[in-house]
Structure formats: structure tokens, C-alpha cells
Amino acid sequence: MARILILDPIAQEGLDMLAAAPGIEYEVRTGLKGEELKKSLAEFDGAICRSGVTITAESLEGNRRMRAIARAGVGTDNIDKNAATRLGIVVMNTPTGNTLSTAEHTFTLMLALSRRVAEAYHKLIGGKWDRKTFMGTQLADKTLGIVGLGRIGQEVAKRAIAFQMKVLGFDPFLSTEQAAKLGIERVETVQEMLPRVDYLTVHTPLTPETTNLVGFPELEVLKPGVRLINCARGGIYNEDALVEGLKTGKIGGVALDVFVTEPCDKHPIYGMPNVLCTPHLGASTEEAQQQVAIEAVQLLINFFTTGE
Ligand code: MLT
């Protein structure tokens, strides 16, 4: 029997598949950290997680049993992959399941930020019918910059084009021809894009190259009034620079779904005008969660039953 540990809540459809799989049994233990996590990981052959748990080198230390960890989602940054590799533990992810949901959430934030929906709603429920303060802007005829034109970035581009936006894209792995086919003008550097865009959205992992992609130096080059959206990973935009840019008025708006430190209950950006934040909800749809759970479970079933 291969024993699978479920470390974060996943969709019931995935649990049902595990229950029906011959030679596999599972147990759900969520909210684990420290010694408790380490002890649990040592009792199982495989694990499934989302981003709630952080599997550190310490939590894997001395583990002789765990053979595979499947991440129900894209980013594996909450798993110490070097430590896992040293111990021969395979780390897998499900890169496609939440593409559309994350692209849609990016668009949700872009639209809601442009029309100051959250701020207007808060004022309204506070008893103020204010039609003057919340003057918005249209997306049509504005320029959107997209950094990272993988699955999610491309879906965002398609939606932006449908909204009559001009799209500039930066991605070293996408050719000018491929970009043109998608209706995107490819730029050679992010720097080149910054003075030209009214909206900027990022769809890359957090790497040394993408950390602080927009920071204090970039504030100087950004087009005044630019709106920045991040549904990828906290830290791609420097959070202090965002606060500063909003204060000086250089930045016209910021929408964040992700933060340097998560969970993030308090942040200087919360409550600032022209800001909209959500608690890492990009992939939080019924469809995406069902899909990533099914894909993650299938990966482990294959691994433990067919050795693939
Ligand atoms: C992902 O990497 O899949 C997304 O950020 C969503 C999540 O963390 O659950």
C-alpha cells in the first residue's frame, strides 16, 4: 500500500480518485508545520499540497520513505526542491489546471481597479452615495504590458485584445513571429516596455531575474498613472516601491493577489486609494481546484502504480 498524505485541502473529486485507486490509501492532515510536519512526512510514501504548507529542507531531513510530492497548482516554490532531489523525492506540478482561472482573475482585478469597484462599494455600504470620487478609465485603446507569455500570459493577452487593448509582451522564450500571431507586439526588454504601458501585469515565477522587476529605479521610467497588477508571485514588484509610487502619484493603481509574505494580514498598501488586494485567489475557482486536484492525484497514481 502506498500511503499518500494530503497536506492542503484539495477538491473532493481528487480524494474520490485516491479512495478508488487500488494499492493506495490516503490521509488528510492540513495546517502542519515544524516537527509535526516532519513527523508526518516520514510516515507517508507520497504527498499532495497546494501553497498552504511549506515543505522545507528541515521538514524533509532524514526522510527515508517519501518518494513523490505532487503540487496541485503551478508554483513549486513552497517545496525545497534541492532537499527533495538530494533525498530522491520527485516533485511534480499541474501546470495547466488553473490557467484560465488565473487569467480571469487578472482581468477581474484590472477591470475592478480601473473602475475603483471595491472602494466605491465600501463607501456605499458605509452610507455614502458618491458618484464624484470614483472616476474610472476604460481599458479600450490603452496599452497593456505583459511580462511572461506562457499559458496564463497568453490567455490574458487574448482577453485584452478582445477588450480592444494594445498588447506589448516580453518573454525571452517567445519569438516575434509567435507573438505577432497572438496579436502581441514583442519587446526585447522589460525596460523598453515600462514607459509605454498604461497597465502592466506579470506572469512569471519568482526567480532572481524577476525579483524586484519593478522597484524604485523603475518608478522613474514608468508611464505616470500606470496601473500594476500581480497575480503571479509576491516580490516581482517591490512592495515598498509600490507604496512609494502610489504616494507620489507616479503609480495610478495597484492590484495584488500575491505578497512577499503570505498569509499577509497587514500591509501598508491595504486601504490606500487606488489599491485592490485579494488573498491569493487566482486559482480559487471550483473548476481550477477540481482540475488541479484530479491532475495531482493522477500524477501520484501513475507514479505509484505504473512507476511513470
Ligand atoms: C499556483 O502556483 O498554482 C497558484 O499560485 C495557485 C496556488 O498557489 O494555489
Find the distance separating the first CA and the last CA of the chain, reported in whole Å.
17
Tens digits of pLDDT across the chain (308 residues): 999 999 999 999 999 999 999 999 999 999 999 999 999 999 999 999 999 999 999 999 999 999 999 999 999 999 999 999 999 999 999 999 999 999 999 999 999 999 999 999 999 999 999 999 999 999 999 999 999 999 999 999 999 999 999 999 999 999 999 999 999 999 999 999 999 999 999 999 999 999 999 999 999 999 999 999 999 999 999 999 999 999 999 999 999 999 999 999 999 999 999 999 999 999 999 999 999 999 999 999 999 998 66
Q: Residue 262 and residue 278: Cα distance in Å, rounded?
A: 12
Decide: residue 264, CB within 10 A, 0-12 exposed, 13-18 middle, 19+ buried.
middle
Q: How is the chain split into domains, by residue range? A: 2-95+286-305, 99-277
Residues touching ligand 1 (Cβ under 6 Å) are: 50-51, 73-75, 98, 282-283
ipTM for the predicted complex comes to 0.93
Between 3.30.420.40, 3.40.630.30, 3.40.50.720, 1.10.260.40, what CATH number should domain 99-277 receive?
A: 3.40.50.720
Q: Residue 115 and residue 240: Cα distance in Å, rounded?
A: 24
- How far CA 265 is from CA of 143, 168, 209, in Å, comes to 32, 34, 27
Residue closest by Cα to atom 8 of ligand 1: 51
**What is the best residue among 256, 280, 284, 286 to mutate for testing ligand 1's pocket, by most ligand atoms within 8 Å of CB?**
280
Q: What are phi and psi of 306, to 5 degrees?
A: -115, -5
- CATH classification (class only), 2-95+286-305: alpha beta
